[in-house]
Amino acid sequence: MGLLGQPLGYYDYLTFVALILLLAAVMALFLFLMGLPGRIAIKRNHPHAEAVKIMGWMGFLAIVPWVHAFIWAFHDGVTVDMRRGPDEERKAIRDEIKRLGGTIKPEYQDPLDTDETKQA
């Protein structure tokens, strides 16, 4: 086996390994950045964490939606839903963050639920 009429040597194989590792590192960085807005939103107990997560993954190729999702993840999310009262809204946010695998901030914890107080 040869390359351009020359036999492959130690440095040729080392180059191939380095290129494969570089490609793997670039792909890992790409995947990390795509999921970053969703992870930030979940960590901050954002009420729209699932939407931020989806927008981060789907909007990365167009860049602008990904930037919007990144900014949205840091937004306070003080949306008032008139269909639910404050207690029901807090419970809905708490359930959504639990479903997404995040930890619940103290302001969203239910004082009667001892399982959630152990998480914080």
pLDDT tens across 1-18, in order? 666 777 888 898 999 999
Q: Is residue 69 part of a domain?
A: yes
The SS3 of residue 82 is coil
What size, in residues, is the chain? 120
Q: 17: number of CA atoms within 13 Å, CB side? A: 6
Nearest to 94 by CA among 103, 85, 86: 103
Give residue 117's pLDDT.
44
Nearest to 77 by CA among 30, 45, 54: 45
Q: Mean of the pLDDT values across residues 69-80?
A: 79
Give the C-alpha distances (Å, rounded to integers) separating 56 from 87, 92, 108.
29, 22, 24
Give residue 84's pLDDT.
67
Q: Mean of the pLDDT values across residues 45-73?
A: 89
pTM above 0.85, yes or no: no
Question: Is residue 70's pLDDT more than 80?
Answer: yes
Q: Is residue 12 part of a domain?
A: no
* Range of lowest pLDDT (13-17, 26-30, 95-99): 95-99
Read off the tokens for 37.
């807005």
Q: Is residue 26 part of a domain?
A: no
Q: Is residue 53 part of a domain?
A: yes
Task: Give the domain extent around 76.
Answer: 36-108
Q: Is residue 13 part of a domain?
A: no
Q: Mean of the pLDDT values across residues 75-94?
A: 73
Q: Is residue 95 part of a domain?
A: yes
Number of domains in the chain: 1
List Cβ<8 Å contacts ≥24 apart for 59-67: 60/30, 60/33, 60/34, 66/34, 66/37
